[in-house]
Structure 1
Amino acid sequence: MKKNFIYTLLFLFCSFSVFYAQTQEDKKEVSIAVTDILKGFQTKDRELMNKYVNPTYGVGILFKSTGDLGFVLNDEIDFTRSLGYIQKAWNIRNQFPIQFNTTYEYDVKNLKWKKEGLSVQFNSNTVNAYADQFLPQYSVKDQEIFKINSNAKNVVFVTLAENSKEKAPINGFRFVMTKIEGKWFLTFIDVTEYDAE
């Protein structure tokens, strides 16, 4: 009996250690990817950003137009193309350290973040929540880019909440990363805070 108890404790300890190690490894990999993606966007370095775009799935741009949610799917990041209805990339300062599982609220009325910072949220259900908002005639849940994001355990939502000192269509930068075959990829850029009319 005592022997079984010791084996059970040992098994639980090992299981916890493996889980913790995977979580720490994910945090490390995601931190590197987030830093690279933000630096790539800040410096308009498409090669650095495209290193994180999966060639099979591409990168989706989520946007709003007159209140309706829409998206376009691109093979890669190309700063000569628009991001949804936003005609060009905007400037970010990217000066904040990563805060895990912190949320930042956007003030739609005043078009700015209530508090600034950089948040990385693991186990995010963001893409599923967006998929539910599309008009019924768009079967986005059947598209591969949405299917690979259906399991929240493989999804990270990143928010760089910073308010621009100049007039800009977007403040900060939001994107989704997805773990595909053991590697983290940039799968969506979220520009839904800017509603093109």
Structure 2
Amino acid sequence: MKNYMYTLLFLLCSFSFIHAQTADDKKQIAAAVTDILKGFQTKNGDLMNKYIDKTYGVGILFKSGGDLGFVLNEEVDFGMPLGYIQKAWNIRNEFPIQFGDATREYDLKNKKWKKEGLFAQFNSNAVNNYADQFLEQYAVKDQEIFKINSNAKNVVFVTLAENTGEKAPVNGFRFVLTKIGGQWFLTFIDVTEYDAE
């Protein structure tokens, strides 16, 4: 009976510790998401760049002629194009953040989201899935920016799914946050909804 009580106490303490970690992660992620979206909305690179790890930089994922590509930047610079998109697009950013595992679907033909909202997906395999889509001659899995995202437990995929109604090249905004040394950093921006060709 005594062992049973110790086991139960251990499990309860373990659950509380895990829950506390998740609550802290959610708090950090919510702050990062708010700043990153505000930085993008106001074209304030400095606000976004405080979430970019100087060692790894930020990758921009894009499509050109149907093929997936990416460029690695040291920082976000609104004077430069994001991938092949020359014109920065506008976001409203009016939704509260929702944590969950549901993937948001984008209708490429009609250029709109099937469901609007701001979603953060924990334990995301998004970067591994991107890496699998590259042509074999591009050894992206060997690059550090992809290696640090290989463990899904350290990856959060954020989607601002909003339909602006404007003739924008991209509706909404998607990006990846990665836990590095106990902090959450912006590691990828996804503009794959827009094909440059």
- Give the TM bin, normalised by the shorter chain: over 0.9
Question: Hey, what does 2:32 align to over in structure 1?
Answer: 33
Alpha-carbon distance between aligned partners in 2 of 1:131 and 1:80, rounded to the nearest angstrom = 27
Q: Which runs of 4+ in 1 moved over 6 A?
A: none
Question: Hey, what does 1:164 align to over in structure 2?
Answer: 164
Work out the percentage of aligned pairs sharing the same amino acid: 78
Alpha-carbon distance between aligned partners in 2 of 1:44 and 1:108, rounded to the nearest angstrom = 25
Deviations 1:4-62 (A, max 9, x none): 11111010000000000000110111001000000000001111100000000000000
CA contact (8 A) 1:81 1:88 kept: no
Alpha-carbon distance between aligned partners in 1 of 2:119 and 2:140, rounded to the nearest angstrom = 27
Question: Hey, what does 2:123 align to over in structure 1?
Answer: 123
1:10-25 aligned at under 5 Å gives the runs 10-25=9-24
Q: How far 1:103 moved relative to its partner?
A: 3.1
AA partner of residue 49 (structure 1): M
**1:88 has 2:83 as partner:** no
TM-score, length of structure 2 as denominator length: 0.98
TM-score, length of structure 1 as denominator length: 0.98
Alignment size in residue pairs? 196
1:1-197 aligned at under 5 Å gives the runs 2-101=1-100, 102-197=102-197
Alignment RMSD (CA, Å): 0.7
Q: How far 1:114 moved relative to its partner?
A: 1.2
2:54 is paired with a residue whose SS is: coil
Alpha-carbon distance between aligned partners in 1 of 2:76 and 2:128, rounded to the nearest angstrom = 23
Q: Which runs of 5+ in 1 are unaligned?
A: none
Q: Which runs of 5+ in 2 are unaligned?
A: none
